Structure 1
Amino acid sequence: MKTFALSQSTGAGTPDVAGFFDSRTFSVQYIVSDPATRQCAIIDPVLDFDEKSGATATFCADALLAYIEEQQLTVTWILDTHPHADHFSAAQYLRHKTGAPTAIGQHITSVQALWKDIYHWPEMPTDGRQWDTLFAAGDTFHIGELSAQVLHSPGHTLASITYVIGDTAFVHDTLFQPDFGTARADFPGGDAKSLWDSIQQILALPSKTRLFTGHDYMPGERDPEWESSVAEQRAHNPHVVGKSADDYIALRHKRDSELPMPKLILHALQVNTLGGRLPEPEANGKRYLKIPLDALDGVNWG
């Protein structure tokens, strides 16, 4: 199974993109680097978690660090596109290892407020202080000489953002590969109409824009893939081609009603709404997750 691929720069002002596929969570981590300066950003890093044993590990994140050392890169940003529901974020681990600042979209505060109630955490800060930077729509930043811009892309979550870096866009769970479709919109704070609008904003980018997704579910048992283009999505994505907003909303509602919740959603959100921090150890030195019962609608007993 392919678990790594390098998408090379297409010219001045465009990045090299190294993608790392985690087969346990079907997630893709990225290292986005400037060939001119060797500076890079890490996007959506994974902290390993085994829900059967409760074990945590840093295999995925350490693979990123090994690549960074091998390529003689310098990390300038650790970026999350949204608070993930299917894996733990390794942002804090990598911040400790590299000293690079962490960032996410500013609407994380709304997600924190929502999950604070679900977990009954009266003392939880909900001002986003768990990250070094909160990006607003339209904000710009640099990775070496590469120019990056932030799009607010709600629908999958309230806080989802897209990073447009040179001729690339990191579209998290908004769009999947053209043979699979688009993200679900039934998590707390999700909205199908907002997701449709976010998809249209992404597909308004130049047709040659390289799009990198947050997951791949390998339809037809093909190898994992995570790169496409705006043109390919416009031409082949079955949730987009020939669809109106109303068509899409109806499709999304029907499809989401048939999907089970991700198996790690209640585990992951209590880590990821805190910027990738594990719970503090209790008096016996052990860390504990808190799983609220009967907290989410939409259970699929099938």
Structure 2
Amino acid sequence: MAVLFSSIVAAQERGSSRSSFSAQALDLAPLGDLKSSVLVCDDFRVSGRPFPLHPHAGFVAATYVFPDSAGRLRSRDSLGNDIVVGAGGLVWTHAGSGIVHHETPADTGELHGLQLFVNLTSPNKSSAPKTMTLSGSEVPEWTNAAGDRVRVVVGCYEHLTSPMVPIEPFTLLDVELRRHLTFDHPQGHVTLIYVATGDLAVSSEGGARHLAQRQAIAMHGDGARLSFAADELAHLVVMSAPEIREPVLIDGPFIMSSAEQIAAARVRYRSGGMGQLPPS
């Protein structure tokens, strides 16, 4: 049993002149035909109001507020939700057939978080939209004697299970690594490892790789145990989900499996079928 390591990919800086906004955006294009459900992964810092109201359809827009964030996240949507989450919290917006959405910092402190776009299988692209949240205090934490810590934001780790249950399986772990820990890569999944800070060695029976700060690597293939090791404190995020072996068409805020689905999403949005969200 072994996993296959993909090419190492790096985060690229991007920003906005409309407010104080910067992000380390992973360039996932070099992963090629690897059918990862994670299509966007941005490690961002923001203050102000960088983005206008916008629709989503066909995927999940997830925003995880890192525990070191000084600011909180406000998330509003056309389902009537108006949510504020602070450090360590999560907003999981299952857009499905369509939702109008707006996220901004809730206060003056700089908001530091992880923005993910998670693809959905074709049947769930037409499912009813749903927004789920976790506060930081609701996220289970695993620790060991060496001081390694795993926040189980979504999914399971060791004996802990997150109360967040998405419509499709997903694992999101926020890890502070001082020495060593392992992760069981499930068969049929793609596991993406992103190193926010520090340096990391990743190994399995299929080989080993070294990752520097703001680099990531994806693993796929047979289920196997991955080992993570660090000489000094490293902060990493583990994301894992079943492969989605379907076409991926991206048209702005819509991610679908066919041109027909894209066209239908456009019609729903323009006709008000995704609901309305007044300006804040």
TM superposition score normalised by structure 2? 0.29
Structure with higher helix content: 1
Structure with higher strand content: 2
TM superposition score normalised by structure 1? 0.28
Higher RCO (CA < 8 A, seq sep 6+): 2
